[in-house]
Amino acid sequence: MTNAKDLIALEDAYGAHNYHPLDVVIEKAKGSWVWDVAGKKYLDLLAAYSAVNQGHCHPRIEATILEQIPKLTLTSRAFRNDKLGPFYKFVTELTGFQRFLPMNTGAEAVETAIKAARKWAYTKKGVAEGRAKILVFENNFHGRTTTIVGFSSDDQYKDGFGPFTPGFEILPYGDADAVTAAMDENVCAILIEPIQGEGGIIIPEDGFLKHLRSLCDQHNALLLCDEIQSGLGRTGKMFAYQHEDIRPDVVIVGKALSGGFYPVSGILADEEVMDVFHPGDHGSTYGGNPVAAAVATTALEVLVDENLVEKSAELGTYAIERLKKLETETDHVKEVRGRGLWIGVELHASAGGARRFCEALEDLGVLCKETHDHVIRIAPPLSISREDLDWGLQMIEDVLKGESSKVEKEAEVAVAG
């Protein structure tokens, strides 16, 4: 079956309705481009929410997975495999942390960091049992488990899923004074996205992360950085926290750790934190399996060997400067912000929402996605060429300047309604 309408109908008929995707049905992909079932070609400016920083179907990662799958796919952690140890060595030496604990999905990795922080609080810091507290921030997005959505400030994420896990305090993102006031003897950790992705590419003021690092040092607490989307080159550094020259106690990674080939995630930390775990405390049947370890090793090698981190910094600076001109060239754009190849174009409420612009871009052969109703999120594969990026930016400029009559008409109808 290759008809997009029929395939969409199958999804709607037999799947849960927990997503609202654009109605493009992708059949194949390569590099920065994807093709739908009718053969139409699109430039991907979302990169699976930063999971394919290396580009779609990267040939080196493909070769690794095809080599590994016929040999060994899973042993569980009841036995050892020949890929895990070398992966541990590579990822820790690359990132400068002493230990890595592998999981599968981003939410699992966040849960792992929470468990590590709490057990550290009771076994190392001396917090009274059941009293450990973790500080988090408004508009955060750390995953979809019941514990994680319980400390979201988005009502929809929580609606109907309670009761929730206690032990979290939500603070305004970027408010240094609020964090200072919230610190007490029961705070075991601060959990933060160095840049909020789902929140709309929100970047805190310079110095905020340094302030958090200082507070954690003063109060003997852990700084946990969720770099699932922001890490592995997305912001023009290997990790976004490096823009402020700090070092967290725990770094949470996922998505681009496998280049889009396989679910791989985990946490990086030193022995002081990681040795709170003992056999039976935590684990995953698939976590650290040989396919995951082999794929993640090659995915990281590609980032380094192809200078994708540096490329993100260079192309990101160019793209942000170019798109910022839209703030004065069109009445639709309120603000353009970003770091590296991670850009948010926030629209005025009068523009009628970001989705209609994303749909118009889809018609023109460009794929990106709205977040929080009024922000267009732009995050192409870091391997994108300057030529392809220029073409995509031109399409975005044309649509936002109102040179697409369809967008202008739909915006007028939406605002009037």
Question: 125, 255, 311, 369: which is the annotated catalytic residue?
Answer: 255
* Average pLDDT over the chain, rounded to an integer: 95
Q: What is the pLDDT of residue 156?
A: 92
Q: Residue 90 above 60 pLDDT?
A: yes
Q: Is the pLDDT of residue 344 over 80?
A: yes
pLDDT in tens, 12-68: 999 999 999 999 999 999 999 999 999 999 999 999 999 999 999 999 999 999 999
Q: Are residues 251 and 131 in the same domain?
A: yes
Alpha-carbon distance of 366 to 399, in angstroms, equals 11
Q: Which domain holds residue 9?
A: 4-54+307-416
Residues 185 and 282 placed together within one structural domain of the fold: yes
Domain co-membership, 254 together with 319: no
Q: Write the pLDDT tens digit of every residue in 233-256.
A: 999 999 999 999 999 999 999 999
Task: Give yes or no: 226 in active site.
Answer: yes
Instruction: Give the pLDDT confidence score for residue 409 in this predicted structure.
Output: 52
| Res 353 pLDDT > 90 | yes
298 lies in the same domain as 314: no
pLDDT of residue 414: 44
Same domain, 81 and 118: yes
**Pairing between strand 187-192 and 133-137?**
parallel
Check whether residue 87 and residue 191 sit in a common domain.
yes
Q: Omega of the bond prior to 381 within 30 degrees of 0, cis?
A: no
Out of 282, 305, 328, a domain closes at 305
DSSP conformation class of 196:
B
- pTM value? 0.95
Region 267-281 average pLDDT: 98
Q: What percent of the chain has pLDDT over 70?
A: 96
Q: How many domains does the chain have?
A: 2
Residue that is last in its domain, among 280, 305, 330: 305
Return d(Cα 251, Cα 231) in angstroms, integer. 9
* Catalytic residue (one of 226, 237, 239, 388): 226
Is a pLDDT exceeding 60 seen at residue 378?
Answer: yes
Asked if residue 135 has pLDDT above 60, the reply is yes
Instruction: Output the domain CATH number for residue 213.
Output: 3.40.640.10
Residue range 123-144: mean pLDDT, rounded: 97
- Is 137 an annotated catalytic residue? no
We report the CATH number of the domain holding residue 48 as 3.90.1150.10
Residue-level pLDDT at 400:
96
State yes or no: pLDDT of 406 exceeds 60: no
Q: Is the pLDDT at 2 greater than 80, yes or no?
A: no
Amino acid at 61: I
Among the listed residues 141, 151, 208, 357, the single catalytic one is: 141
Categorize the per-residue pLDDT at 1 as very low, low, confident or very high, splitting at 50, 70 and 90: low
Provide mean pLDDT across the span 158-168. Answer: 95
Mark whether 71 and 164 lie in a shared domain. Answer: yes
Strands (E) in 122-264, as ranges, are: 133-137, 168-171, 187-192, 222-226, 250-253
402-408 contact pairs (CB < 8 A, 24+): 402/330, 402/332, 404/360, 404/364, 406/360, 406/363, 407/356, 407/357, 407/360
pLDDT at position 367 is: 98
Amino acid found at 100: F
Say yes or no: 116 and 183 in one domain: yes
